[in-house]
Amino acid sequence: MASTFLAKFSEVNYADILIAFVLSLAVGLFICFVYKKTFAGVMYSRSFAVSLVAMTMITNVAILAVTQSVVLSLGMVGALSIVRFRAAVKEPMEIAFLFWAISEGIVIGAGMLAVALIGALFIGAVLFVFSLLGGKTPTTKPYILVLHAADDAAEDAACKAIASSVKKQAVKSKTVTDAGIELTVEVRLAGGESTFVNGLKKIPGIADVTLVSYNGDYMA
């Protein structure tokens, strides 16, 4: 009596599986590329970018298996229902990329290759457009400037220097203590130049100046 387990190997279309794997890898790499080029956060995560490729391929494997057996699909649903993921999502756009990778894996595994390719290209193009409109260039990218002034005179001098050196500015917080004044300003650099920070430190009464890249939408 022939083994039913071994008999299943002859029922598999290996050409289709190979095409699905290659396409899922290509689409996953494309999603990873779009994530890297459109990333507008503070800390770029290479591990998350690689996980997008893995997520596309893993989902593809799961869907390929599910389409072969209804019993297996029910078992997989039950197994996945007890899995809990605790990793924190740092950027809202990471959720979109995760769903994009998972959706592409599902569509490829289901055999809808045209939908997968057209969807990947269209979504990638939309994200690139929004990235350009959102402004990833140094002239529009927001920064947080934190400085400590000894008195009002030092603060006024620093504010005038900031106004003449940046494209846009907006005071976010001001803390006055016995030790001095802490001023937090959101700035958009003019021409990507940050050398004005060195000049701020030379102003009498300015103890220190810190410029930090920031992912925010406070300014229009």
Q: What is the tens place of the pLDDT at every residue in 104-155? A: 988 888 888 899 999 999 999 998 888 887 654 444 677 888 999 988 888 9
Report residue 6: phi and psi, to 5°.
Answer: -70, -30
SS3 per residue for 76-123: HHHHHCCCCCCCCCCCHHHHHHHHHHHHHHHHHHCCCHHHHHHHHHHH
> What percentage of residues in the chain have a pLDDT greater than 70?
73
33 pLDDT exceeds 80?
yes
pLDDT computed for residue 1 by the predictor = 47
Give dist(CA 195, CA 209) in Å, integer: 12
67 pLDDT exceeds 80?
no
Q: Where are the domains of the chain?
A: 11-134, 142-213
142-213 folds as Alpha-Beta Plaits (3.30.70)
- pLDDT band at residue 69 using 50, 70 and 90 as cut-offs: low
- pLDDT tens for each residue of 161-188: 888 888 888 888 888 888 888 999 888 8
Identify the weakest region by mean pLDDT among 14-28, 37-51, 83-97: 83-97
- Residue 135's alpha-carbon distances to 36, 38, 194, in angstroms, are 15, 10, 17
